[in-house]
Structures are given as structure tokens and as C-alpha cells.
Structure 1
Amino acid sequence: MRPQLSVVVHGRNVQGHLGESLDALARQAGADVEVVVAAVGTSARAAAARHPGLTLVALPEETPDGAARAAGAARAGGRWLHFVPSKDSVPTGAARAVAERAAALPDTVDVLLTDHTRSTWRHTRRPSPDGRFLAEPGRREVSLADCPDLLKVTPVLGNRVLRRDFWRDRQDLLATDDELFAAYAALLTADRIAVFDQAALEERRLRPESLPPPTAEDHFALLETYERLLRLAEQRAAGPGPFGVLYVAMVTAGLRTVARAGLPEPQAREFFHRAALAAVAFRPPGHRRPGGLEGVRRRLLEEDAYTKYRAFQLADQRRRKLRSAVAGGRRRAAKTVRDIQYHQDLRRPLDPRLAVFSAYWDRGVACNPGAIAAKLAELAPHIHPVWVVSRANEPLLPPGTDHVVPGTRRYWRVMATAKYLVNNANFPNAIVKRQGSVHLQTHHGTPLKRMGLDQLDYPAAAQGLNFHELLARVDRWDYSVSSNSHSTQMWQRAYQSRYTELDHGYPRNDVYYTATAADVRAVRDRLGIAPGKRALLYAPTHRDYEATWTPRLDLAALASRLGEDTVLLVRGHYFYGGAGSSPAAPRRTGRIVDVSAYDPVEDLALAADALVTDYSSLMFDYANLDRPIVVYADDWETYAKTRGVYFDLLAEPPGAVARTQEELTEILTTDAWRDAAARRARAAFRRRFCEFDDGRAAERVVRRVFLDEPESALPPVVPLDERVPAPTPEEAVL
């Protein structure tokens, strides 16, 4: 059968990235997706040869990009073509998701415009700025005249998937070495455009210092590209909207080149003159310049007033420096006023009835602080809680929650006068530890990865971490909550100070012993999980060497193999802003549910029949439920080397372990996920890591810290074999 999508990887093996790209794509090839490698040079051909399932088109060393693209397309059999430069890659599962989206499109659609991520030598998979433009048409198939802002989507050919017949008809125009021209021309010549708002390309932006410096000819060629595009827009009768977007892009690029390219003075003057001619020649009828300084710049360009422009530029630089100095002075003055007010408040008496709570760097009511606050209201209602919440998260607070926003006047007042300060991270450096105040550090997970001072030997994990400031924050702690002896020992090692360890269990885990069958049913109802369906919670952790999250699994393929009776609950790590990724077709059928933004995570655990994770601390909490846990450790060696770990998870896992997607699929489609071996591993794991969690942790913490009861008076920890976890979804069925 003819595949829906041909991914055409083309070009040289730039900086050795091709092998990694093909490794990712080889796992996505199948009936609907073929991969064609138009490899240039022997090193590229050697990288492609490692994957015999891919189609290799060997090309001479001197083959330019446009010709390589055309050669790959000539061998492709797909209905749609996705051109991917050899330095870039396709995220896991994206090729199949694109194929499914494209399969639903009629032949009247010429281009499927997708989102992408950006990687540099510093950061991996940063989101693109294109989301707002891609959202405009939604699921509609539109013309460029209907949505001219689609021309503002980053102009790279890799985020434009082209219908094969459209490519064939436009090949003379699109098979060019000028990718900027090809990217814009694809949209300008398309009759209809559809949008796919998921990332289908990881664009690697190479470090400029590693590439040949651009010449003056390169900068002049940029102007010529925009002039060609504007003439093409006129020929195609694209309409005033697209023409106007292109015109602004040309003028912006011209001014940016003059300001930043560092051209020698004669060439800069000549470039400015050429840009001025183009700005006047192509200016749309009725076009209005923007106001402010940008409008002045554009007026000077249209007047070809280079000398005045340079004078204006110099004056603007001086103005910015002066403004920055003034703003800096104002900030220093405001800080001085704040410091004076804060230190005045520090002389006020402590309020023994006031407690300040914060969780996850001021995200809201959550985690151990949230569970402690709830129990405080029950056992010590005379103590008033105030939550520190960022401005962005204010709307998400439960109604009636008393709160302060960091930096406000009341924030500094309550931080100065509250007797109790509770956090699962740390309060800012500026907060003063007052004599008589009580700082309670609850943490937010059992440590598999190295923490605190143990990160000294792992620079990838310790980026931006000032260890002296860290220890100063730790020195404010009076109490540190722990859920097991392993954590207690690691905290003592990683955070060396004089605080008191509270081996009381994690308050947030109480719910795993107090939730009822009705609670489990209610959560599954909210998530739309039908009775009798198996729900798998897939919750991968953060990686210090990645800036944004994309699943390491082909979720569409996994959902397909698991069948109609399994639902995947996909939760991205909170470091990535609640961004998950769910392929389109399974999502429509309800077999994949993106729960990245769902809180609390404890609800998701209650709803799940099993947990699938890599190295997330959620596994330690979920083990309290005594339900199956499957570890998907495809990059264990890399994670352990870059982040550092406290023990070998693969040697002491909580259940079955998979190293590849095929192994994971095998585990989840047989009884291996819950067989006798998995139960034995989970039992050993629970004995070690669920040591103090028994459903009464929050009570012990409140009585010890807020009510000042002695250790001997606290409820003892229930032995593990006497605890009864919350009912499983199967047990909760009426």
C-alpha cells in the first residue's frame, strides 16, 4: 500500500546529527510512514546504512540542498512529503501523528503547516513562538488570504508538509537551495492550507561561531529573496494581507541587518540604499508605518537617509543606556523602600496564629504543604493559613483562599510576621529567619536523582545553582519531613544543617490510604474513564538536558497495540508548564488523555490501574497503592551520568523494566506488568520506600510542629503489612 507520508531526510551529516535523527525516525517507520534518506557524502551514507529499513538515495559530495531534496522526493512514494534537513529531527511519534492528520485531508489541501521545537547547543526542544498563528484557523482548511498570519510561522521548510502532487507541480520553484524562499513560496502558491498544532520538527539551530561567517553577498541575497517573494505574491494575486505580512518581514530583516550584521561602512551604506529602494518599490497601497521609534526607523529607510539613520541609531543607543540607568536607579530605590518596610515589619511581634504556605515555587495549593494546610484547618483552626501564589496562578486558587503575591506590600508583611513558614521548595534568599519562627521544609519527592550538595559533580544538573546561597536557605529550616529512611539519609547528606528530621511520612500520600471506592470512581468519572477500562498513567520526569518535554514513546503506536480497553493518561513534568503531547487520532477516540495540567496528581494515581514512568519520584508515592509499576528506562545510562542517582533503579525496580518501546508493549500486552515477579519487586520496593506513609502523616506533622506535641504522643506509624491502601479501580466498581 502507498504510505500516507514520506519523510525525506536530506543533505550532509552536519556536525554528526544525522545518525541521531535516523535513529528516531527508524522507530516511526511503518505502513503509513516511509523514510527516504537523500544522503550527501560518505559519512551521511554510513549513518543511513545502519538502518536497512530506510530507503537510501546516495548522492555525490557536491550535491546542493535543493537537488538533494528533489532526489529524495523522486524516490518517495507517500501521498505527502515532509522534508527534514539532516541536522534536524522528527520528535517521537510525530511522523505517525502527521500521517494520521494528513490522511484525513482532501486533495484540495496543498500544505499541512505544523509546529516545531528549537534546539541549540545550550538548550533542547524549546517551544516555537508560532502557537498563536497556528491556532487561528483551528481545524479549518483555509486559503492564505483567509489567514495571512500563517506567513508569520517560522519560515523553515521542515514545518511545511507538502502534498506530493503539489510538490511535483511546484518543484521548479521549491527545489531551491534558498530555504527561506521555498518555505514562503510553499504557502504563497498553495490553494488551501491545513494546520497541525503539534511539533513535527525539532529544528537544531547550529552555533553561529561553528559556521562560516555570512558575507556581504549573503546579506544582499536576503534582500533579493524577499523581492522575489513579493513579486511571486503579486503574480499569485495573494491579496493585500499576505503581501503586507511579507513586506513587513522584508523591511524588518533589512533594518535588522543594518543594525546587527556589522557590515563595513561602505557596504552598510550600499545595503541600506538597496533596502530603501525595495521598501519604496514594494510598499503596499495605504500601508501605514507603526508609531514610535520603529516608525521613525522605517521612515528614514524609505527616505534612504542613511546618515540620519546612523545618527538616530546612536541617539537611541544612548537613550536606552540612560533609560536603563534610570530604571536601575528606580529599582534600587524601590528595593531600598521595600527593604526598609520589610525590616520595619521584622521588628513587629511574630503572629503565632499566622502560617505562610508555598508549593512548587508559588504555583498554588498542592503537594505536602496542601495536605498539611488541610489537616491544620481540622486540628488547629486557630492558625490562619496564607498562601504565596504567583500572579499567573492566582485564578487557579480554590475559592476563598487567602493569599499574597510575591513582591507585594502584604507579602513582605506576612513573611516578616508569620510564626510558621511551610514550603516544599525554598523561600527566596531575602527572607530572614527570625528567632521564634518555624520553617518547615516538606520536600516534594523521594530522591532517586542527586540533590543539593550531591549535585556538585554533575554540572548539567547544577546549572545556575549557587551552593553557598543554597546552604544559607537550608540553614533556615527547623524541620525536614521524610517518608523513608533513604530520604532521611540523603537529605542529611545533600542539605547539611541543624534541622530536625520528621520521619512522619509524606502528608500528600495520606490520601492513598484514606480514599474510598467512591473517591476512585469519582476521579475516573471526571477523567472520562469507563468502568472496566484499564487506565495507565504515563508520567515521565524532567531531564536537565532538555528544555521542553516530548514523550519518549510513540504514544499513538502504543495505544494502538494496547487496544480499545486501555486508556493512556499522559502527564508531562510540571517544569515544562503543563505541556503534554497527544497524537490526534487516539485522542479523538479517548484512548490518550493529556492530563499534564490536571491537579492534583494524587487523583490521577487513584484513577490508574498501573503507573508507567521512567525516573519520576511519583513511583515512590504510587507504590503506597500497591498497584503495578512499570519502568521505561530507555536512557538510563544517560540520565544517571548527567543527573547522578543514589541507587541503580534497574537493579532495584518497583516492577517490570522495559528498555525499548517494543519491550514495554510486550510487558503491557501480557501479564508481565502484574505477574509474580513484578509483585515481588514491588513488595521489596514498598518495604524500603513506603516506610513512614500510612495515612496519618499530616496529623503527625501538625501535632508535632503546630501543636508542639512530643514525639511520644504522636500516632505511631502503622506497620506496612497492616495498612490497607485505597481500593483499586477494579475493586471500586459497584
Structure 2
Amino acid sequence: MKLSVIVTGPDVQGHLRECLDSVAGQSGAESELLVVPADEAARAQCDGYAARVLPVEPSAAAARHAGAAAASGEWLLFLDSKDLLLPDAVRTLVEHADTPADVLLFDHVRAYWWDPARPSTDTKILAAAGHEARGLAAAPTLLDVTPLLGNRALRAAFYRDRLDSGLLDDPAPAGELATAYASLLLADRIACLDTALLAERRLRRASLPPLTAEQHYALFDEYEEIWALAENAPVSVRGVLYDRMTADYLRIIARPGLLPEELAPEFFRRACEHAVRFRPEGHAAPDGLAGVRQNLLVKGQFAAYRTLQKANRKQRDLTTTLHKRKRKLGASLRRRRYEKARSRPVDRELAVFSAYWDRGVACNPGAIAAKLAELAPEIHPVWVVSADKVPLLPPGTDHVVPGSKPYLDVLGRAGFLVNNVNFPNMLVKRPEQTYIQTHHGTPLKRMGLDQMDFPAASKGLNFRALLARVDRWDYSLSANSHSTRMWAHAYPSHYTPLDYGYPRNDVFYRADAADVRAVRAKLGIAPGKRALLYAPTHRDYEAGWTPRLDLAALAESLGEDTVLLVRGHYFYGGSASPLARLRGTGRVIDVSAYDPVEDVCLAADALIADYSSIQFDYANLDRPIVIYADDWEMYSRTRGVYFDLLAEPPGQVARTQDELTEILRGDAWRDSGSAKLRAGFRQRFCEFDDGAAAERVVRRVFLGERPEALPKIIPVEDRTPAPTPEEAA
């Protein structure tokens, strides 16, 4: 048995069954569910579940100890009865059961009544820590991870040997805070996952009974226990713990509603005692206001602290008021400029283009603009480009920066608006303006209104505002019938679908052998090398991009004749690349920043994809595709998908790196079975892409030609894609 999930506590506000449902639906042969109810009412809610229900234990510490004693798993996960496990959490923890650590920390979301999936503040800490198991001395900032028991799995032997050995039972049974910190202070090695596996429910404060004075002061007893364990810890560890403790105390004093005002002086006095007693020798206070507050606490200056609070609150209110006035003034000025532009005649020889939230000339808008210059040079294109991307524009590109006066001018009077995402909410489309939504991929994952049931993915998306933006579309572009149907469901409005193909994919039928050789040379791919493009998509439940493959090991196992072209998702453009240490080997080429991506596709002999829409585009080349789906269950349940990719793949499917390596070292990646799967995939998803999509769009939308006069779509079986690198050589 790998994992024991131990649910403890009362049936708080009727949430216990939801908690049990979240676990029971994931249980398997390698896991078990145990419940230690806090009272008979909670016990009654356990009927009907395949769980071991232990005797009632009103004390949280006693409930943990009882659950751990009865558990069979190598790892223990203590889950509060009000919280939830996110989909696929059990499988993820079981898969990491061999991690050489005492504690496995992972991310969580905070579930409020008004937002069921608010990201935690731990995401960046866990991402920065990496996946390598290490001691706390090597990563003391892990003490800044929210001290919950539900966001860490504990090795059972470690728990029984150390945490359940009496260390935390004097002077009082340990609460969650003390046990959470103790798990890190006592562990030899700690491992991290930057994946959210827990939804910590934050109950409405007004719905809870008020705490007694003794309950407020119990926090000091917990920190007494914590410092007893940290007494011999390295200075770096004690420094982080000290800052965390003082910040906790000051937060309780400062935040309205957390502490009755009549208890504040005594609470401050006790906090001061701890701030003096536990301050590490030579400890430097944090920079800025946090350091000023800490110093006031150390000196016991409660009156000065309250004065500082009032002054800061007054300053914040003043700053907020000034910012609001500035924003209102700026918005009013922009609105007047925009309205002035809208009062001028619409210019049908002016077209505004944008791609990927104003990143520059790219994707379908870029291909349409290129064809427009060929077929309708009288229509002038202007690109909306963020200021930091302007230096990357092709020479001579006419552009405007968002929010600027020229931007408002062209947005208000351009005859054509082209985007692969959406223009801002301020846009009020005029009847004489034509808006074409090109999209930027074939949807495997849920989009638009279809995300409503997947809060971890939608992240508070305002669906009413989304529909208001959709209502401005005149045309919606599709590469296949599947997309047309999904767009209609996800973005219900009155626009006209254009089943013309994606203009960005025209190059896959227009490029010749010289083009393929040229881009391979530009990327530094030696002649005769097999180039495999690895292009994973974004995970909504992860903090940043960490390749799910051990790329160094994969490159080594595939041999010197293979080079990996690795492209991270554009969401992570500002992140430090995890590929930096591999670039010098020549076996891995980071193409994350290389544009256009279509050129990288032309250079690749095969694609390693997961759930990215690049597979639908790459299939036009009729080259091998291998799906690496190690976390399909987690992805499909948290992000939502339109079809089962593993049941209808474009080629071989690997669930582990070993399976992927085996496929790529042999002939399975390009055998007849793979070709058959790819043929069916192409028929379904390359339906309208034949090399003439941009021409059809320009002739229909910009030149107003009748649909029957447009180039006919060539059947998939009659098309000739660009030559493969082997053919081009």
C-alpha cells in the first residue's frame, strides 16, 4: 500500500461528505481511505463509503495519531474534513511514492465561497525549490509554505518515529501549525511538487463562532513547541522561522476582525516576549515596512505600532484615492480620444492586426496580413504591439502601442479588425467595421463558456464580459468541423463561421526542400540528424514550466544522431528557462523563443506532443507524432477536454518516459500503425488546411468575393505537404 489518506475532524457546515467524495472517487489498489471522526454526527456521515472508520477522537492530534497507527500506507496524507483533494491527487502521490524524502510538499488552491480555486501564495516558492529532495538547511524558504497538513504527504515511518514520539505532546497536544512546521524541522529530506493537489476551504469568518481569549493565545503555545524543535537548527532556518512567526503575530493584530481590540495589548505583549526570546543572534530585520513593524514588536512599542498602523492606513487610503482618480482621469481621456476617432468615417483601407495579446506579427493574423499585401496592397495593415515587443518587429512594420493616442485612433476608425485572441473590453465595434476572430489552435481543451465547470482553468474569468467581446465578432475562423462545432458551443453568438483552414498552416503546403534545409541550418541541426520537436502545453495546475521529461536522459538514450528541439509554452516567456544547462551539449536546442513556430515544425522529423494544439497543425505535414501523456487524467479533469486523445491519437502514445524512449529508439514512432492513426487524425482535424486558407480569408473578408468564387478545398488525400527533412536532403 503506497498511500493512506486520513480524514479527521467534524462535519463542518456539511462539508465532510464532499471531502470524502473527493477522495473516494480516486482510491485504487495502491491507496486507502481512513476516517477519524470528531463526533458521532461526523461518524454518521461516513455511511456508504469504502473507508475504514475509526473510533471517535475529539482531539485533532489524537485523531492523527490514531489514523497513523491504523494506516497501512508508506505515506500518510492528513486531510481536514472541510477540505478537498483535487482530481488525480491520489494517483500523483502514488506515482511519487518512491521519492527519497520524509516529506513531500505540494501546492494547493484556496476555496472561498466566492472563488473555488484561488491560487495559493506558495506557488513560486515550490517552483523555485525544484523537485530534488533536500534538507531544510538547503532550502529554508520552505518554511514560508503555508503550514497546513493537507499540503504535504508524510512518510509513515517518519511520522511514527518522530512526529508521534512525544516530541510535540509537551506542554500541550500539537495543533496543525506546530505539526506542519515540525514535519519540516525534523525531516532529513524534503521534496516538492509545484502541482496543486489540495483545495483548502476557507470558511466565512462570520459563519464561525468567536474565539475565546484562551484560543487566541494558544498560538503562543504552538510557537513554543516549534522553537523547542528549532533550537539547534541552522541560523538560516531560524531566521526564516522567526520572520514567519513575527509576521503571523502582527497579521493577527493588524487585520480587522481577527482579534478583539480589548485583547490586542496583551497579545502584543506576549508576541513581544517571543520576538525578544527567539530572535536569532545577529538577525537583521526585513527591509521596508515589514522590518519597521518587526522592530516595534521587539521593542514592545504597542502605542507606536498602532500609530504606525493608522498612518499607513491613512496613506494607503490616500494613495488608493489618488490612483483611482488617476485611473479615472486616464480612462476618461482615452475614452474621449476613442470617441473622437469613432466620430470620423471608417477607413476601409485600414486594417488593425493583433496576435497573442499584442506580442507582434504572428500566427493566423500574420499570415493573413502577408496575403493581404499580395492581393489587396491598397489596404494598409497596422499592428498593435506592446512596447517591450516593438524592437522585435520586422523592419518597416507599422505599429501602435496599446493605450496610446495612435492606438485609439486606428481602433476607432479601422475598417478591419483581426485578432487571434480578443481586443480589449473598451472596443465598441461600429457597424461599418469588420471583425475577424482567427483563433490560434484546434481545441482539445475546453474553451470559453465550456470552462465554467473547471474553475482551476478559468481562474475567475468573467464570462459575461467574455460574451460581450464575442458579440463583436463578424467572422470566426476554423481549421476543421470539430473546431466550428466547439466554437459555436463555447462562444455562442451571431458571427459567421469561416471553414477555410488556418492561414498560418499554408506554409506546410507551400514550403519546398530549400526552405526545409534553410530552417534546419538556421537552427543548427547538422545534416543527417533526426530532429524531434518536443512542445508541451501549459498546465493550469502548475506554477511554471518544468519539462515533464528528463531531457538530458532522453537525449542520451536516443544517441548522437538525434537532437531535441524543445519549445516551452508562450505563457512562460518571462520565466527562467529550465533548459539553460542543456543548451551547451548540442543535443538539446531550446526553440522556445524562435518564431515562427511553423518553421520549427518544418525542421522536425517528428513531433513529441502532449495536449498542445500544435499536434493538429503539425499533422498537416503528415510526419510522425508521438503523444507523451504522463498526466492525462489530471489534465483532463482539471482543464476539461472535448475528446479522449488517448483513444483517438495521431500516433503512438507513451505514458512514461521509458515507454517514450522505447518508441523512439525503435520503429514504432513511424511504423504502419502510427501512419494509420495519423491518417485518421488528419482526415478529422486537417480538414480545411490545404495551403490556400489565407487567400480564401482575404478574398472573402477584405475583397468581398462570393463564397462560391473562392479556391475550393483540396481533399486531404490529394494534398502534397512540404518535403520531410530526409526528402529535402
The answer as to 2:381 corresponding to 1:374 is: no
The letter for the 2-side match of 1:85 is F
Task: Kindly report which structure 2 residues correspond to 1:114-125, keeping only aligned pairs within 5 A, or say none.
Answer: 116-121=106-111, 122=115
Q: Deviations over 1:194-213 (max 9, x none)?
A: 88675377344233459987
The letter for the 1-side match of 2:342 is L
The answer as to 2:685 corresponding to 1:698 is: no
Stretch of structure 1 that moved more, 620-629 or 333-342? 620-629
The letter for the 2-side match of 1:410 is P
Task: Kindly report which structure 2 residues correspond to 1:47-66, keeping only aligned pairs within 5 A, or say none.
Answer: 62=57, 64=62
Shift, 1:564, TM fit: 3.5
Give the corresponding residue for 2:383.
Answer: 387
The letter for the 1-side match of 2:110 is T
Give the corresponding residue for 2:78.
Answer: 85
The answer as to 2:412 corresponding to 1:416 is: yes
| 1:548–1:576 CA contact under 8 A, matched in 2 | no
Structure 1 regions of 5+ residues with no counterpart?
Answer: 1-5, 28-34, 51-55, 77-81, 103-110
Give the corresponding residue for 1:271.
Answer: 267
| 1:454–1:494 CA contact under 8 A, matched in 2 | yes
2: CA distance, partners of 1:170 / 1:587: 44
The answer as to 2:218 corresponding to 1:221 is: yes
TM-score, length basis structure 2: 0.71
Stretch of structure 1 that moved more, 307-316 or 477-486? 307-316
* Distance of aligned partners of 1:683 and 1:114 in 2 relative to their CA distance in 1, 3 Å threshold: same
Shift, 1:280, TM fit: 3.5
Structure 2 regions of 5+ residues with no counterpart?
Answer: 10-15, 38-42
* Distance of aligned partners of 1:165 and 1:593 in 2 relative to their CA distance in 1, 3 Å threshold: farther
SS of aligned partner of 2:252: helix
Among 222, 247, 256, the residue aligned to 1:252:
247
The letter for the 1-side match of 2:252 is T
Pairwise CA RMSD of aligned residues? 6.0
Shift, 1:338, TM fit: 1.5
2: CA distance, partners of 1:182 / 1:658: 42
2: CA distance, partners of 1:576 / 1:654: 26
Equivalences, count:
691
SS of aligned partner of 2:558: coil
SS of aligned partner of 1:258: helix
2: CA distance, partners of 1:618 / 1:24: 31
Q: Deviations over 1:593-613 (max 9, x none)?
A: 997776555355445656676
Q: Deviations over 1:294-320 (max 9, x none)?
A: 566445544545566556645654554
1: CA distance, partners of 2:387 / 2:537: 28
Give the corresponding residue for 1:444.
Answer: 440
Stretch of structure 1 that moved more, 112-121 or 90-99? 90-99
* Distance of aligned partners of 1:39 and 1:461 in 2 relative to their CA distance in 1, 3 Å threshold: closer
1: CA distance, partners of 2:27 / 2:528: 37
Stretch of structure 1 that moved more, 438-447 or 306-315? 306-315
SS of aligned partner of 1:341: helix
SS of aligned partner of 1:444: coil
Give the corresponding residue for 1:358.
Answer: 354
Task: Kindly report which structure 2 residues correspond to 1:601-612, keeping only aligned pairs within 5 A, or say none.
Answer: 601-603=597-599, 605-606=601-602
SS of aligned partner of 1:275: helix
* Distance of aligned partners of 1:139 and 1:70 in 2 relative to their CA distance in 1, 3 Å threshold: closer
Shift, 1:658, TM fit: 6.9
Q: Deviations over 1:649-694 (max 9, x none)?
A: 788x465697977998799589887666765564455344433311
The answer as to 2:719 corresponding to 1:726 is: no
Give the corresponding residue for 2:620.
Answer: 624
Q: Deviations over 1:42-72 (max 9, x none)?
A: 999999999xxxxx9x987647476469769
The answer as to 2:329 corresponding to 1:339 is: no
* Distance of aligned partners of 1:291 and 1:24 in 2 relative to their CA distance in 1, 3 Å threshold: same
The letter for the 2-side match of 1:252 is A
Give the corresponding residue for 1:31.
Answer: none
* Distance of aligned partners of 1:399 and 1:84 in 2 relative to their CA distance in 1, 3 Å threshold: farther
| 1:539–1:613 CA contact under 8 A, matched in 2 | yes
Give the corresponding residue for 1:107.
Answer: none
| 1:460–1:643 CA contact under 8 A, matched in 2 | no
The letter for the 2-side match of 1:623 is A
Q: Deviations over 1:105-158 (max 9, x none)?
A: xxxxxx7997732233455694754646975999998984x8765654555676
Give the corresponding residue for 1:3.
Answer: none
SS of aligned partner of 2:424: coil
Task: Kindly report which structure 2 residues correspond to 1:175-254, keeping only aligned pairs within 5 A, or say none.
Answer: 177-178=174-175, 180-181=177-178, 184=181, 199=194, 202-208=197-203, 216-230=213-227, 235-236=231-232, 238-239=234-235, 241-254=236-249
TM-score, length basis structure 1: 0.70
Shift, 1:699, TM fit: 3.1
1: CA distance, partners of 2:447 / 2:127: 39
2: CA distance, partners of 1:373 / 1:456: 34
The letter for the 2-side match of 1:602 is E
| 1:10–1:65 CA contact under 8 A, matched in 2 | no
SS of aligned partner of 1:337: helix
Task: Kindly report which structure 2 residues correspond to 1:639-658, keeping only aligned pairs within 5 A, or say none.
Answer: 645=642, 653=648, 655=650
Among 476, 479, 482, the residue aligned to 1:480:
476
* Distance of aligned partners of 1:13 and 1:634 in 2 relative to their CA distance in 1, 3 Å threshold: farther
SS of aligned partner of 1:701: helix
Q: Deviations over 1:231-258 (max 9, x none)?
A: 655x42733x544433322221111112
Give the corresponding residue for 1:686.
Answer: 682
The answer as to 2:6 corresponding to 1:11 is: yes
Task: Kindly report which structure 2 residues correspond to 1:485-564, keeping only aligned pairs within 5 A, or say none.
Answer: 485=481, 487-488=483-484, 499=495, 501-517=497-513, 520=516, 526=523, 535=532, 537=534, 539=536, 564=558
2: CA distance, partners of 1:591 / 1:73: 46
The letter for the 2-side match of 1:120 is R
The letter for the 2-side match of 1:202 is L
SS of aligned partner of 1:432: coil
SS of aligned partner of 1:725: coil
Q: Deviations over 1:707-731 (max 9, x none)?
A: 5666576544334332111234554
Shift, 1:263, TM fit: 3.0
* Distance of aligned partners of 1:125 and 1:431 in 2 relative to their CA distance in 1, 3 Å threshold: closer
1: CA distance, partners of 2:518 / 2:67: 53
The letter for the 1-side match of 2:558 is E
2: CA distance, partners of 1:662 / 1:237: 39
The letter for the 1-side match of 2:197 is E
Stretch of structure 1 that moved more, 122-131 or 269-278? 122-131
| 1:70–1:175 CA contact under 8 A, matched in 2 | no
2: CA distance, partners of 1:194 / 1:385: 58
Stretch of structure 1 that moved more, 417-426 or 7-16? 7-16
* Distance of aligned partners of 1:301 and 1:492 in 2 relative to their CA distance in 1, 3 Å threshold: closer
| 1:354–1:420 CA contact under 8 A, matched in 2 | yes
Q: Deviations over 1:389-442 (max 9, x none)?
A: 445766766677554442233322332343332101221221132454432221
1: CA distance, partners of 2:490 / 2:586: 43
* Distance of aligned partners of 1:293 and 1:528 in 2 relative to their CA distance in 1, 3 Å threshold: same
* Distance of aligned partners of 1:347 and 1:392 in 2 relative to their CA distance in 1, 3 Å threshold: same
| 2:525–2:563 CA contact under 8 A, matched in 1 | no
SS of aligned partner of 1:439: strand
| 2:583–2:589 CA contact under 8 A, matched in 1 | yes
1: CA distance, partners of 2:514 / 2:212: 70
| 2:354–2:385 CA contact under 8 A, matched in 1 | yes
Stretch of structure 1 that moved more, 58-67 or 339-348? 58-67
Shift, 1:341, TM fit: 1.9
SS of aligned partner of 2:194: strand
| 2:359–2:385 CA contact under 8 A, matched in 1 | yes
